[in-house]
Chain A
Amino acid sequence: MLFSAILMALGEIRRNTGRSLLTALGIVIGVAAVIATVTLGNSATAKVTSDVAALGNNMLILAPGNMKRGPVASNATPFELADVTAVTREVGGLTGVAPLSSKNELVVFGNKNHSTQLSGTTNAYFAVRGWTVASGRAFTDSEVSSGAPVCLLGATPKTELFGGGNPLDASLRIGKMSCTVIGVMESKGKSTFGQDQDDFVLMPLAAFQRRVSGSKHVDQILMSVSTKRATSSVIAQVQSLMRERRHIASGTEDDFDVRDMKEIANTLGTVTGTLTVLLAGIAAVSLLVGGIGIMNIMLVSVTERTREIGIRLAVGARGVEVLTHFLIEAAVLSLFGGAIGIVFGLGGSYAVTRAFHLPFAFSPSVIAIAFGFSATVGIVFGFLPARRAARLKPTEALRHE
């Protein structure tokens, strides 16, 4: 009976294609909106997580100043290379420690120039940030220790200055110094927030300190934590080491900050997750509105089909059968709308992820939920019209024009 009732409902929908499409439109939009927001939200979360992972595997960043009190305090003592050595020697559970000092500089090659972030570091930087040299080579140990005027280009300055040409062994002018290109880094593309991650030039820290910044300061110390160690215990080690080296009395706040990139990733993930839930909630409201649309059309349809109901009653349909008939019709209609909505939602979010270079986070559970939800909407909102149909008196229904 159920099967033939579903067939009957499908027949009814086929006979009234136009009206059925209009009826289901609300559900189509609602389901498409829910699917699209959830899929795009998941895609954004995945992108944020992968972007932060791209900053470095299990990376900690040690910087002077205290984030809790605001941006980098100008009076905080900067780090020096000795701090890097101390961290390397004294803190257990680290797989790499790299100093990093940066400054915006104009890089000139021939008649082209490009303003970029110039950083001084060591070879440990590549391992800490999980970044590889695409062509050419990394620094040699002697280049690092002597501060040789050599540099590695990010993909952006390479393109800006050399186009398709070969940058290796070319001589760049940076401020008053000239420096030989020894390699080009692989490209990481844009981050979630549209920041170009490839816009930089790297040189040995000693060269940077001597010829660019003119000081022995190290802006940041990057550390990568072994996956076998708990990040919190490593952070505690770094903090106590730094408090000791910087002679901070107990009871006084740190004048430095250890940032855990994984935690930032988790925080960002939570933020995008919350946004997704919020947007999906708003989208769900449109699904509700779609349900009310179905109810409206079904009510009109019951009035319009009063005579048909009369005929069915006359040939022996019981009230409960008329009720089931209309309920199934509403459910089939909204499932039909749900199916179309799923196609549109997935198609739309696929197009958007493509356009914004996001990963496409397909989630089968969302589809199952959307499908179940649209069936529920159909049954809940189909109930009132169906009950009205079932309660019609045969004589009155047959007399209806």
Chain B
Amino acid sequence: MSPSTTPLVSLRAVERVYGKGDATVYALNGADFEIRDGEFVAVMGASGSGKSTCMNILGGLDVPTGGQYLFRGVDVGSLDADQLALFRRHYLGFVFQGFNLLKRTSARENVELPLVYRKVPRKERRERAREALRIVGLADREEHSPSELSGGQQQRVAIARAIVSDPLLLLADEPTGNLDEAKKRDIIGLLETLNRERGITIVMVTHEPDMAAHADRIIEFRDGRVVRDGAVRAPGSDAV
């Protein structure tokens, strides 16, 4: 990626508070970090550590209650619901643990979905969806519905959907969580390839160290704060 002085993502003392008074819960309690273009970052932490909340905020699905979230220098926290939708539409791609594909809808149509909201013409939509499916190795499964695909294949479709709109940032929330060992390696390999060969910036939440080891950098959360932020020592070695 072109070296840019502004980081792609910049979190400054971000807080996310739920509830009021005695029932106040700090899901995020002053998170600070930056992500630059082309990075592959693994976000780790126990459940309740704030990593999922952090992902939701990075993805514009939720907004911080304190601090600042800058995306390419723009304060995402100040956007309204519609602007957040447009932010997601134009800059982000999502991959979820549970795949989240539309049922009874072909792989191609699933991949086309983000382009529908981008108002890409039908024909172009179809071509780009095919291309994305080819990249994830499912060129021959275009017309299969999710129920006709294995878990690994479904996650590939989800990844194709996330990259079809050429997002600036791909957010993957436990992308390997629902898969067996072989499929896990498959998917993490695919994400790695997308990052290395296509320069897609990826933030991946995982609780599995061997998955995190494929990233360039690991950010670890505990009690709503970043407790560790550093490069992965050596590829394949134990990261914790």
Give A residues with C-beta under 8 Å from B: 1, 4, 8, 11, 15-16, 307-308, 310-321, 394-395, 398
Contacts and interface: CB of A to CB of B under 8 A. Distances in A.
A306 to B, nearest CB: 12
Interface stretch (B7-15, B113-121, B189-197, B221-229): B113-121
Contact of A308 (B81, B90, B102, B119): B102
A311 B102 contact: yes
A318 B61 contact: no
B86 A318 contact: yes
A315 B117 contact: yes
A316 B114 contact: yes
Contacts of B116: 4, 8
B59 interface: yes
Given A15-B105, A315-B113, A395 B89 contact: no
A316 B100 contact: no
**Highest count of chain A CB atoms <10 Å: which of B59, B88, B119:** B88
Nearest 5 pairs of A and B residues by beta carbon: A316-B89, A315-B114, A318-B85, A394-B61, A15-B104
A398 B90 contact: no
* Contact-residue size bin, chain B (C-beta under 8 Å from the other chain): 20 to 34
Contacts of B161: 315
Interface in B68-123: 81-82, 85-86, 88-90, 92, 94, 96, 100-105, 109, 113-114, 116-119, 122
**Highest count of chain B CB atoms <10 Å: which of A16, A316, A394:** A316
Nearest to B105: A15
Contacts of A15: 104-105
Contact of A398 (B89, B92, B100, B104): B100
Given A15-B104, A310-B100, A398-B100, A315 B119 contact: no
A164 B86 CA distance: 85
Contacts of B100: 307, 310-311, 314, 398
A11 B102 CA distance: 12
Contacts of B81: 318-319
A312 B116 CA distance: 10
What is the predominant secondary structure among interface residues of chain A facing chain B?
helix
Contacts of A320: 82
Nearest to A16: B104
B178 interface: no
A318 B88 CA distance: 10
B113 A311 contact: yes
Nearest to A7: B122
Contacts of A312: 113, 117
Given A11-B109, A313-B61, 17 more contacts: A15-B104, A308-B103, A311-B100, A311-B101, A311-B102, A312-B117, A314-B100, A315-B89, A315-B113, A315-B117, A315-B161, A316-B85, A317-B85, A317-B117, A318-B82, A319-B82, A320-B82
A328 to B, nearest CB: 13
B62 interface: yes
Given A315-B161, A316-B85, A395 B105 contact: no
Contacts of A398: 61, 96, 100
Contact of A395 (B62, B85, B117): B62
Contacts of B82: 318-320
A268 B143 CA distance: 63
A105 B188 CA distance: 104
B94 to A, nearest CB: 5
Contacts of B89: 315-317
16 contacts: A15-B104, A310-B100, A311-B100, A311-B102, A314-B61, A314-B100, A315-B113, A316-B85, A316-B90, A316-B92, A316-B117, A317-B85, A319-B82, A319-B85, A394-B62, A398-B100
Interface in B144-175: 161
Contacts of B103: 308
A321 B88 contact: no
A394 B173 CA distance: 15
B76 to A, nearest CB: 14
A334 to B, nearest CB: 22
Nearest to B90: A316
Contacts of B86: 316, 318
B83 to A, nearest CB: 9
Contacts of A319: 81-82, 85
B56 A395 contact: yes
A80 B122 CA distance: 88
Nearest to A308: B102
Contacts of A394: 61-62
Contacts of B88: 313-316
A270 B143 CA distance: 60
A4 B56 CA distance: 29
A8 B82 CA distance: 22
Nearest to A15: B104
Interface string B192-235: 00000000000000000000000000000000000000000000
